[in-house]
């Protein structure tokens, strides 16, 4: 580890301690606490990412997995190598910094309910370009996200499905009592639980058209709707999501 690396990791540690101390103080205001919790989360990601970067200073791991899942969380898929910013995963890596795989080596790259958690345009467009780079010729990128048009189309009236959406998306959350109208559901797609430290906020909303545009701009030849396959995707994500398959 270089002197510069040591210095920067000890400043991050000092910052983490200061944040933890401020969060314990009753005088810390709600607004400041929200910002500090977000910073604490980023510090956690940064630590995992830095540890992996030290192991792979070239920015590429030695392995060349043919099937890769990004941002899978606890959802494992047989035969897929999992990259996520936090455990459990085969590799901890902040994908906003790129995909640590060699050019043209991956046959299938899968993610669901991941893309909306990275900022747009900088990180989302970079991710699309990185996906294109690591895929082999005719390799495929499968992407699922909450479908913005699913909640926007029925606005302002809402439908009988609004109640179902509230049940499915907020049924187990502390804020259930505060999700009351169809507009609250629209807010879910655009920002999700910005307030609740247990959940990762949404940074951008997507629909089929936006996914086609994003991946076409990154160089993919064909982007089409993907027929949901529960062998790969999580059945709990099917309802209210849009999936596409982009071919290099």
Ligand X SMILES: C[S@@+](CC[C@H](N)C(=O)[O-])C[C@H]1O[C@@H](n2cnc3c(N)ncnc32)[C@H](O)[C@@H]1O
Using CB under 6 A, pick the residue from 65, 101, 113, 205 that binds ligand X: 113
Q: Does the footprint of ligand X cover residue 65 (CB under 6 A)?
A: no
* Identified binder of ligand X from the candidate list 48, 65, 68, 71, rule CB under 6 A: 71
Residue from 68, 81, 106, 112 in contact with ligand X (CB under 6 A): 112
Q: Residue 186 in contact with residue 151, Cβ under 8 Å?
A: yes
Applying CB under 6 A, which of residues 150, 208, 237, 240 lies at the interface with ligand X? Answer: 237
Min dist CB 215 to ligand X, Å, is 18
Which member of 86, 136, 183, 212 binds ligand X (CB under 6 A)? 86
CA atoms of 195 and 170, how far apart (whole Å): 14
Q: Which pair of tokens denotes residue 136?
A: 């082999």
Q: Does 223 bind ligand X (CB under 6 A)?
A: no
* Options 65, 73, 139, 146; binder of ligand X; rule CB under 6 A: 73
| Three-state SS annotation for 149-187 | HHHHCCCCCCCHHHHHHHHHHHCCCHHHHHCCCHHHHHH
Stretch that binds ligand X, among 7-15, 23-31, 81-89, 219-227 (CB under 6 A): 81-89
CB 77 within 8 A of CB 232: yes
Smallest gap from residue 69 Cβ to ligand X (A): 8
Q: Does residue 114 interact with ligand X by CB under 6 A?
A: yes
Say if CB 97 and CB 127 are below 8 A apart. no
Q: Please tell me the count of residues contacting ligand X according to CB under 6 A.
A: 18
* Residue 241: Cβ within 10 Å count: 18
Q: Are 190 and 205 in contact (CB under 8 A)?
A: yes
Kind of pairing between the strands at 106-112 and 135-146: parallel
Judged by CB under 6 A, which of 118, 124, 244, 246 binds ligand X? 118
Q: Quick one: which H or E segment has residue 83?
A: strand 81-84
Contacts with ligand X, residue ranges (CB under 6 A): 71-73, 75, 84-86, 94-96, 112-114, 117-118, 200, 234, 237
């Amino acid at each position: 580890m270089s002197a510069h690396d040591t210095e920067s990791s000890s400043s991050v540690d000092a910052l983490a301690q200061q944040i933890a101390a401020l969060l314990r103080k009753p005088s810390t205001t709600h607004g400041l606490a929200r910002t500090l919790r977000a910073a604490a989360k980023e510090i956690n990601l940064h630590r995992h990412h830095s540890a992996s970067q030290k192991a792979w200073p070239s920015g590429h791991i030695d392995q060349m997995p043919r099937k890769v899942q990004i941002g899978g969380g606890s959802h494992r898929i047989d035969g897929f190598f999992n990259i996520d910013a936090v455990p459990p995963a085969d590799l901890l890596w902040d994908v906003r910094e790129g995909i640590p795989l060699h050019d043209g080596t991956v046959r299938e790259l899968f993610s669901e309910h991941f893309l909306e958690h990275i900022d747009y345009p900088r990180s989302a467009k970079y991710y699309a370009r990185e996906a294109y780079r690591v895929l082999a010729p005719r390799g495929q990128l499968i992407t699922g996200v909450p479908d913005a048009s699913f909640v926007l189309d029925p606005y302002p009236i809402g439908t009988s499905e609004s109640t179902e959406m509230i049940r499915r998306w907020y049924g187990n959350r502390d804020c259930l009592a505060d999700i009351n109208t169809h507009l609250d559901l629209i807010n879910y797609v655009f920002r999700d639980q910005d307030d609740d430290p247990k959940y990762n906020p949404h940074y951008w909303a997507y629909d089929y058209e936006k996914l086609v545009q994003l991946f076409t701009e990154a160089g993919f030849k064909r982007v089409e709707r993907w027929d949901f396959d529960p062998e790969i995707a999580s059945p709990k994500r099917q309802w209210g999501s849009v999936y596409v398959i982009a071919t290099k």
